[in-house]
Amino acid sequence: MEKNKQYNLAVVGATGAVGREMIKMLEIRQFPVKSIKFFASSHSVGKKLKFNNKEIRVELLDKNSGQDIDIALFSAGAKISKIFAPYFVSKNCYVIDNSSAWRMDSNVPLIVPEVNSNFLNKKNKLIANPNCSTIQMVVVLKPIYDITKIKRIIVSTYQAVSGAGQTGIKELSEQINAWSNGKKLVNDKFQYQIAFNLIPHIDVFTDNGYTKEEMKMVNETKKILNDDNIQISATCVRVPVFRAHSESVWIETEKNLDLKQIKNVLSKSVGVCLIDNPKLNKYPMPIIAENKQNTFVGRLRKDISINKNNALTFWIVSDNLLKGAALNAVQIAEKLVSMNLV
């Protein structure tokens, strides 16, 4: 990496929940920015967002917006990414896309830096950021996978409303306020009332009875770990929490597991924070993970329902707007720089 080199960046979808967090992460992690542009839809054009104490005017996205940009962070939805990401790439710009548009494209690397940054290269300028619930799971799975291959995963997620964007956050807040004041609760973004409720339905249902969100976890995990033989089943649930997704994960491995070894490895893994002391009621929770850059894991225990010694269950929590989206994208950009790819 060339010392003191700086880069021209763009954030597409800058005014959205994830876009704003991308901007914040670039600041906090002191990414070497020479210049930065913010792009959004027509109703946000002209707004000003702060970056490093400077006000930057939001511009309208068009097919020439990628000119002279080194790295663009996209979080404007799959439709926008499908249209505009290729224009940016055609101008020799790396695009790190947070939508579902390119994740399962065989020509597009699906990257979690702690897991598979070796798939980054100069040939593939378009890079996909995985689904939020997938990212936090594979960050914890990879250190275990390096000890012994994982044969099967069963995961249930408890996903915060911020996973549905600003409108999800607003709806939960408005419903809580309405309930507090004895008013009728109105649901628009979610299928049902989300305040004081759980909804076992994220994204649309597919023909096999699983939702798209659940199938994202299945397919993306296999691609990231580069292992199509892992058997995976997921149930994704929306919960009345503003930030940070939680997951209950069960795995079956090829070799027998040493619980002490697993805990030791996870405690030393980059990006992972082990909180696992049941005697003191210490375990990960959304209120601990909110606005934190680590992925938290705890409640590690052997599965007592089978005789074999190769099944483990645990609990994972991570801020879905950070490691689940914005932070992971910025970390990919950092990898591109550290690997001298840009």
Catalytic residues: 132, 245
Quickly list H helices, 189-315.
212-225, 259-267, 286-289
Burial of 241 (0-12, 13-18, 19+ CB in 10 A): buried
Question: Of the candidates 174, 202, 182, 173, which has an alpha carbon nearest to the alpha carbon of residue 190?
Answer: 202
The answer to whether residues 166 and 243 touch, using CB atoms and an 8 Å cutoff, is no
The answer to whether residues 217 and 233 touch, using CB atoms and an 8 Å cutoff, is no
The answer to whether residues 310 and 257 touch, using CB atoms and an 8 Å cutoff, is yes
The answer to whether residues 269 and 114 touch, using CB atoms and an 8 Å cutoff, is yes
262: tokens are 């697993």
Alpha-carbon gap, residue 202 to 181, rounded angstroms: 29
Bridge partners (DSSP) of residue 39 are 12, 59
The H or E element containing residue 270 is: none
Look-up of token digits 């994960």: 249
Burial of 340 (0-12, 13-18, 19+ CB in 10 A): exposed
Taking the CB of residue 115, how many other CB atoms lie within 10 A of it?
Answer: 22
44: tokens are 């946000």
Task: Output the CA angle 248-142-152, nearest 5 degrees.
Answer: 55
Give the phi and the psi of residue 274 in degrees, each rounded to 5.
-85, 120
Alpha-carbon gap, residue 46 to 49, rounded angstroms: 10
